[in-house]
Chain A
Amino acid sequence: MPFLNWFRKKSTSTEAEPKASSADKSSPEPTTVIETASGNSEQASVPDTPSTEQQLTETPVIPLSAAAPPEPKTSSTAEPASTPHLSVPLGAFYEKLPPHLLASIRPDLKRLIQIAPEDIVIEENAEEATVPLSILSLSCPDIFVRPVAASDEIPITFSLSGPVAASAAESSQQPEAQPLKTAAPPEPGSLVVPADTRPEEGSKMGEPHPIKEQLTESGSPTRPDEIESVERQPAPTVRATTASGKINLRDVTVPVDELIRLRESAAGAKPLASASSGTEFSGHTSSAEKEIRLRLQSVLSNLPPGLEQPSIQDLSGTETEIVLPLDLIQPQLAQGRVVVSAATFCKALPDDLKPHFEAIEPSTEIPIPLREIFLGLPHEAIKLREDQEMVHPQETIQTPFRAHAEEDAKRFGLEQVKVNSERLQAIFLTDETLDLPKTITKVGELPGLRSCLLNTTDGLKLAGGLDSPDQEQAVSVLAPELFKEARSKLAEMQFGALETITLHCGRDQLSTFLQGKLCLTVLHDNRPFKPGIREKVQAVMNELVL
């Protein structure tokens, strides 16, 4: 099955792979980039940062038509190339678009549209790409009945393989696809793989990959030091917050050859449902693709008593990890329980461990602990349906329990947050009455964000939530400290008031706003703030008073 010519890698999904053994998710992320947005949008001082002007020229451009590509940059400095546009056939995502927003005339699905790479996140190995709906509506407004509003915003994830991909690959020979070729940095390699040189599915796992031949630096297997070197590139690490948001290093600004090499090594290393025998646990890094990495130890410690045979007990303390297809796990998540057959489980084991499990009847169900799965589960895997309607009563009826609720809120420290519903309604362009929980939910639903937590600077949770309680706890401690430290330093430097701090942590990015005793943290969906969103969240902050 051919890859699309615009197949790019989300580098973070593999970056942890060669890392040292650790079950700890917080273990050495090579870089954690701190961005700050101060009141006057000035950039905080961070070492090894290119000039602000340099960065500002690199804001994403979303072409409304298949316009000519920007001139390729031939600069040999470390700065990223100017934005190349990726050509995507409509058919790749058309079926994923909300039907109620689509124009009645079905477009030619082979038509290529242009998307700035900053706006697309490609999951390496999973052969999937994600683009915000609003970006698609800007790229091909004619297929929509109306402009996509903020409230319509959803990420559109689509496959890069299959028949549509094949047709796209053919189309890549057409002139429209040229931008990709010309815009890619000429130096190290190209993102473009001509359709006819792309490997078939079977070859991608082990055989030499044609992409390699296009690399000036050969596609050697990824080593941790290489990843380090990618991430230590001084140029792309810190960006000023601009009107068009920040550019994510991991998605966009890593040199292309490195991206391809990372993708290569990952593709060659992990066939589905195969064991990575003897490999040390690397933090579930394959989860962003169509497979999920699990610590064998964690599965074994959760075996039902009947299966705890001595031969298996011998394995306690093993650091082996197994890889299971996400397709096998995801459909079961809605049941609150995930199992695989012993046969499948054994297939995923490294050869040397298989004999330990031979006595188990192949059809026996092996439970896979959810906790373990969630360590690496892509958040899209548990996305709520897109047509949901919230049921919040519009007006508040005075119930006999309200006073107690308010009293308790006070007692538990939840009370004092006053919300100005009218002003918040104006911010969110809604008639709905907004209380604190609704407001925080709405913040988490803004384009490009996936969740939102409000807590006090003392660490007390007030509303919303992040992906896990551990994250919430850590953030509630870390964020106020960071602000305190950063504010005191920035004051010396005579910058404007610090409003936001953005942390880039592997594939996750989070931004925290702090005002008075309130601390609001958002998790980003793939890349930092879209234009205007940071300001919107800040405006919400201004309406919350503790």
Chain B
Amino acid sequence: MPTINYAAKEIQFKIVYCGAALCGKTTNLVYIHSRIAPAHRGDLVSLATAADRTLFFDFLPLSAVILQGFKTKFQLYTVPGQVIYNATRQLVLRNVDGVVFVADSQWDKMEENVESFRNLEQNLQKQSLSLDAVPYVLQLNKRDLQDVAPTNYLQYLLNNRKRRVQSFESIATTGVNVFSTLDAVTQVLLHKFNRERGQLLAVPGGGGR
């Protein structure tokens, strides 16, 4: 659920990058960070653990007013992929507005992808959220590598629910489809927000455009 600050006319959305350890979540954020002008982003904060990292950064968007006169901020997080950090994952997922599930396309990562996806579902359930209700998109990452599974198998593993979500084949290291993924999840999230809560913005501030 986004945070709305009526006084500052600011609205804040939380987007979380999920996926197995080393699938490329951090690489996504590093790339996004590198491409956004410093004036429009905060620092990329990495809370490093021994083998994996949790990242967090604030992002002030270029077009500050996009929703009925409210400045819209996006907080992008990654969750630690390793199984042992589930408590952290749950914390990061709290009040999530949108999810990018990053899949590692390498053949030997298929099981980890599936497990990570299930873990995401379970963690959302713990907050009484269903994946069906959360805006999310799928990113099939590392498509530049040789030993990768066909995308239709990844779709079968990760996108075979009643609701089929958008998916992007990406190369996070070079940035291919990194912003398309972020753009897509943002769109789904804003659509949901407009549908369900858009009227909230209009009430206290009366600030429709």
A residues neighboring B (CB under 8 Å):
333-337, 369-371, 374, 379, 382-385, 387-393, 396-405, 407-409, 411-412, 437, 451, 461, 465-469
Q: A385-B161, A393-B188, A399-B190 are in contact. List 17 more A-B contacts (CB 8 A).
A: A336-B115, A374-B150, A382-B153, A384-B164, A385-B160, A388-B160, A388-B164, A391-B164, A391-B166, A392-B166, A397-B187, A397-B191, A399-B183, A401-B182, A403-B62, A408-B35, A469-B143
B180 near A384 with CB under 8 A, answer no
Interface residues of B in 142-175 (CB under 8 A from A): 143, 146-153, 155-157, 159-166, 169, 174-175
Q: Give the chain B neighbours of A388 by CB distance below 8 A.
A: 160-164
CA distance A5 to B153 in the complex (A): 35
A370 near B156 with CB under 8 A, answer no
Decide if B111 is an interface residue (CB 8 Å cutoff).
yes
Q: Which residue of B lies closest to A463 (CB)?
A: B169
Q: Give the chain A neighbours of B156 by CB distance below 8 A.
A: 333-334, 382-384
A400 near B178 with CB under 8 A, answer no
Min CB gap A450→B, angstroms: 8
CA distance A388 to B102 in the complex (A): 21
Min CB gap B181→A, angstroms: 8
Decide if B49 is an interface residue (CB 8 Å cutoff).
no
Q: Which residue of A lies closest to B110 (CB)?
A: A336
B179 near A401 with CB under 8 A, answer yes
CA distance A529 to B42 in the complex (A): 53
CA distance A371 to B153 in the complex (A): 11
Interface residues of B in 65-119 (CB under 8 A from A): 66, 72, 74, 107, 110-115
Decide if B186 is an interface residue (CB 8 Å cutoff).
yes
A404 near B150 with CB under 8 A, answer no
Q: Which residue of B lies closest to A466 (CB)?
A: B150
CA distance A383 to B156 in the complex (A): 7
Max chain B C-beta neighbours (<10 A), residue from A398, A401, A407: A401
Min CB gap B26→A, angstroms: 18
B111 near A335 with CB under 8 A, answer yes
Partner of B63, one of A337, A400, A407, A461: A400
A385 near B162 with CB under 8 A, answer yes
Q: Give the chain B neighbours of A465 by CB distance below 8 A.
A: 150-152, 169
Q: List 25 A-B contacts (CB under 8 A).
A: A334-B114, A334-B156, A336-B113, A336-B157, A370-B149, A370-B153, A383-B156, A384-B160, A384-B164, A385-B161, A388-B161, A391-B164, A392-B166, A393-B187, A397-B66, A397-B187, A399-B183, A404-B179, A405-B182, A408-B179, A408-B180, A412-B175, A461-B169, A465-B169, A469-B150
A408 near B66 with CB under 8 A, answer no
Q: Give the chain A neighbours of B160 by CB distance below 8 A.
A: 334, 384-385, 388
Max chain A C-beta neighbours (<10 A), residue from B36, B61, B146, B182: B182
B186 near A399 with CB under 8 A, answer yes
CA distance A525 to B61 in the complex (A): 45
B63 near A398 with CB under 8 A, answer yes
CA distance A382 to B161 in the complex (A): 13
Q: Give the chain A neighbours of B180 by CB distance below 8 A.
A: 405, 408-409
Interface residues of B in 178-202 (CB under 8 A from A): 178-180, 182-183, 186-188, 190-191, 194
CA distance A265 to B120 in the complex (A): 49
Min CB gap A376→B, angstroms: 13
A405 near B191 with CB under 8 A, answer no
Q: Give the chain B neighbours of A461 by CB distance below 8 A.
A: 169
B166 near A398 with CB under 8 A, answer no
Q: Which 4 pairs, one residue from A and one from B, show the smallest C-beta to C-beta distance?
A: A400-B61, A336-B110, A405-B179, A336-B111
Decide if B176 is an interface residue (CB 8 Å cutoff).
yes
A335 near B114 with CB under 8 A, answer yes
CA distance A385 to B162 in the complex (A): 8
Partner of B183, one of A334, A371, A384, A405: A405
Max chain B C-beta neighbours (<10 A), residue from A374, A388, A397: A397
CA distance A402 to B181 in the complex (A): 10
Q: Give the chain B neighbours of A391 by CB distance below 8 A.
A: 163-166, 188
Q: Give the chain A neighbours of B61 by CB distance below 8 A.
A: 399-401
CA distance A409 to B153 in the complex (A): 25
CA distance A125 to B191 in the complex (A): 50
Given that A336-B112, A379-B152, A399-B187 are contacting pairs, would A389 and B162 also be in contact in the complex, using a CB cutoff of 8 Å?
A: yes
Given that A335-B114, A391-B166 are contacting pairs, would A374 and B153 also be in contact in the complex, using a CB cutoff of 8 Å?
A: yes
CA distance A430 to B157 in the complex (A): 28
CA distance A337 to B157 in the complex (A): 11
CA distance A383 to B180 in the complex (A): 26
Q: Which residue of A lies closest to B182 (CB)?
A: A401
CA distance A299 to B120 in the complex (A): 31
Min CB gap A435→B, angstroms: 10
Max chain B C-beta neighbours (<10 A), residue from A397, A398, A400, A451: A400
Q: Give the chain B neighbours of A467 by CB distance below 8 A.
A: 150, 152
CA distance A387 to B177 in the complex (A): 28
Interface residues of B in 27-82 (CB under 8 A from A): 35-36, 40, 61-63, 66, 72, 74
CA distance A400 to B178 in the complex (A): 14
